[in-house]
Amino acid sequence: MSGRVPVLYEQMGGEAEVRRLVETFYDIVEHEPEGAPLHLLHLRGHGVAHSRIEQFNFLSGFLGGPRLYVERYGHSDVRQMHAHVAIDRMARDAWLRCMEMAIDRIGLSAELKTALMRHFTRVADMLINRSDAAPA
């Protein structure tokens, strides 16, 4: 064995678990009160069905697996991806809360949850492009 530390994609269980995380996340967004602010943003944009596909493609590469988003679009610049979306702290917090709920529901370990949420929080903080007081 090479002694290489498995990337998060592998630690999660690969494609099937990343897909399960994304599907669980968007089920929360579509059907639960915690996801309501995000659902509204998605309805104003490309829609939830589109986001389920693209988030899986992005997270696959972001977590160290196949770089599906980059292969399709030539980049993985999250700011560029979200430039058309007004994201304030409330939206960021809702996204993180829904993702934390999804991680818990699919039963990932506490250690893996901590690592994932650290990465997700760093990126979510970068995406804030509106103040909380900005009109919708």
Taking all residues of the chain, what is their mean pLDDT, rounded to a whole number?
92
> Given a cut of 60, is residue 5 above it in pLDDT?
yes
Q: What does the pLDDT average to over 41-68?
A: 92
| Domains of the chain and CATH, by start | 8-126 (1.10.490.10)
pLDDT at 30: 96
Q: Which amino acid is at 94?
A: A
How far apart CA 100 and CA 80 sit, in angstroms, is 24
> Given a cut of 80, is residue 134 above it in pLDDT?
no
How far apart CA 23 and CA 98 sit, in angstroms, is 12
Cα dihedral 8, 9, 11, 12 sign: positive
> Given a cut of 60, is residue 133 above it in pLDDT?
no
Nearest Cα neighbor of 11 from 121, 114, 120 is 114
pLDDT at 86: 86
Nearest Cα neighbor of 89 from 124, 50, 56 is 124
Nearest Cα neighbor of 52 from 75, 24, 33, 76 is 24
Q: What does the pLDDT average to over 100-107?
A: 98
> Given a cut of 50, is residue 136 above it in pLDDT?
no
Do residues 15 and 65 make contact, with C-beta atoms less than 8 angstroms apart? yes
